[in-house]
């Protein structure tokens, strides 16, 4: 984008216009004392726009060097770190950076004539914004074989079990109570798998934003599973702040801005997306066969000295119940008696007596799930959470229920 002079046919005069033009850019690559290896480019035409490219892992390596922390590095990830907690603390210090100060200093290197060019225009400084951010969460595995064994199962689960509603929830969009997409949503939800010589990755996209999963650095020292959120469009997200015109005024949840002032919140949102994605992957494990995982559910058990029937995962009644408690929003927020009533009964109760009967029926189902170790009560609240064992059971159930005959035949072959 630059300025040009052109005709205005309506006003019958020549005007200054701001439009796309072809111009030269100067690219700079250097070793920064804080950020390490980085690059930037400056437009050679007015208004001399600048783009700066930083990598947080490159930055972290320099932090760990100064702290005397030992690590093994592979490109922009770390298969092994001597003290992960210390490394995480160093990474979080990056969020405290005074971005305008640091970026203005970089601007001075790229355009040393800035003050001279704008001498007659007061404080004509750059407004720094984030055009694209990538926020990665690295899960490190000891040795080089464990992740190689698990990663194909993660890929299969991501491709076969994450529907459009799941992807939208990962990326912070609201969906209907039954997990379906709201009718007003006009965007596109895309999931794709790509395989390259260095490995495979699965990527989910909604409204110019995405979350992807891929594996890195299969070495003897360790390997890395990376979940990475890329944000280009921050309009769906909110920041708790005052207005720009009244910084001391009342704070409310307002639309997130692209400026660096909201970069900390952008990091929080991105980490929440990564956490939701990892939570959805948490139950994937091929160390047991499906029948080994699901068979114990069919056996009778006891709950507080009372016999409890076995579950029938593929019966109409129990299948619907397991499907409901396996939904992402309930796993995160907790499950109540009312949540299950709303999902398992097609219509509202006709009277108070019927409502009480339904509540008692759901209470028995919750006790059934507790007895089989799928749910546990949250202390001090009438809410229940899915246990770690429950996540594995629910994942196995969903995979088995959604698998087609052709898929099973391929596995058998």
DSSP characters over 139-180: EEESSSSHHHHHHHHHHHHHHHH--HHHHHHHTT----TTSP
- For 353, list phi and psi in degrees, rounded to 5: -65, -45
pLDDT category of residue 149 using cuts at 50, 70 and 90:
confident
Residues 6+ apart with CB under 8 A from 281: 154, 157, 158, 213
Give the model's pLDDT for residue 59. 96
pLDDT of residue 285: 59
The phi and psi torsions of 277 (rounded to 5 degrees) equal -70, -45
Q: Residue 404: is its pLDDT beyond 70?
A: no
CB 56 within 8 A of CB 77: no
CA 342-346-349 angle, to 5 degrees, is 70
Domain ranges in the chain are 129-281, 290-412
Report the phi/psi class of residue 125: left, alpha or beta, with left for phi > 0 and alpha for psi in -120 to 50. beta
Answer yes or no: are the C-beta atoms of 203 and 210 closer than 8 Å.
Answer: yes
Give pLDDT, residue 206: 92
- Please tell me the distance from the alpha carbon of residue 192 to that of residue 215, in angstroms, as a whole number: 16
The pTM of the whole model exceeds 0.95: no
Read off the tokens for 178. 């039954």
Apex 4 CA angle, 3 and 9, nearest 5: 130
Q: How far is CA 174 from CA 18, 76, 355, in A?
A: 37, 33, 28
- Which is more confident, 30 or 287? 30
Q: Which whole-number Å values give the CA distances from 387 to 275, 289, 331, 341, in the listed order?
A: 17, 20, 9, 21
* Count of CA atoms in the C-beta half-sphere (13 A) of 301: 17
H/E element, 214: strand 209-219
For 159-215, the pLDDT digits (tens) are: 888 888 888 888 888 877 766 777 777 788 999 999 887 788 999 999 899 999 999
Residue 388 has φ and ψ, to the nearest 5°, of: -60, -40
pLDDT of 135 strictly over 80: yes
Q: What token pair was written down for 332?
A: 């995160």
Average pLDDT, the chain: 87
CATH of domain 290-412: 1.10.10
Cis peptide upstream of residue 69 (ω within 30 degrees of 0): no
């Amino acid at each position: 984008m630059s300025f040009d002079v052109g005709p205005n046919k309506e006003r019958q005069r020549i005007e200054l216009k701001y439009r796309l033009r072809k111009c030269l850019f100067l690219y700079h690559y250097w070793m920064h004392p804080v950020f390490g290896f980085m690059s930037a480019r400056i437009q050679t035409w007015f208004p001399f726009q600048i783009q700066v490219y930083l990598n947080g892992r490159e930055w972290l390596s320099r932090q760990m060097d100064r702290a005397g922390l030992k690590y093994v590095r592979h490109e922009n990830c770390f298969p092994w770190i001597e003290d992960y907690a210390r490394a995480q603390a160093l990474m979080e210090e990056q969020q405290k950076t005074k971005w305008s100060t640091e970026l203005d200093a970089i601007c001075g290197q790229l355009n040393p004539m800035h003050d001279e060019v704008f001498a007659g225009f007061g404080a004509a400084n750059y407004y720094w914004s984030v055009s694209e951010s990538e926020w990665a969460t690295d899960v490190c595995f000891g040795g080089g074989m464990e992740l190689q064994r698990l990663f194909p199962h993660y890929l299969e689960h991501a491709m076969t079990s994450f529907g459009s509603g799941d992807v939208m929830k990962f990326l912070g969009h609201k969906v209907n109570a039954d997990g379906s997409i709201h009718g007003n949503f006009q965007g596109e939800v895309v999931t794709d798998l790509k395989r390259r010589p260095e490995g495979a990755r699965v990527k989910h996209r909604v409204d110019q934003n995405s979350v992807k999963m891929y594996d890195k650095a299969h070495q003897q020292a360790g390997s890395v599973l990376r979940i990475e959120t890329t944000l280009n469009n921050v309009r769906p997200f909110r920041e708790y702040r005052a207005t720009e015109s009244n910084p001391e005024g009342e704070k409310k949840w307002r639309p997130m801005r692209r400026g660096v002032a909201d970069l900390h919140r952008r990091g929080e949102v991105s980490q929440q997306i990564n956490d939701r994605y990892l939570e959805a992957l948490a139950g994937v494990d091929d160390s047991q066969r499906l029948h080994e995982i699901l068979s114990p559910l069919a056996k009778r058990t006891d709950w507080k000295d009372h016999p409890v029937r076995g579950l029938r995962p593929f019966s109409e009644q129990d299948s619907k119940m397991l499907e409901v408690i396996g939904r992402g929003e309930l796993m995160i927020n907790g499950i109540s008696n009312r949540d299950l009533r709303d999902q398992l009964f097609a219509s509202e109760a006709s009277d108070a007596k019927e409502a009480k009967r339904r509540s008692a029926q759901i209470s028995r189902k919750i006790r059934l799930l507790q007895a089989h170790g799928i749910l546990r009560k949250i202390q001090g609240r009438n809410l229940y959470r899915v246990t770690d064992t429950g996540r594995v059971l629910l994942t196995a159930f969903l995979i088995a229920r959604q698998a087609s005959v052709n898929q099973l035949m391929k596995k058998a072959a």
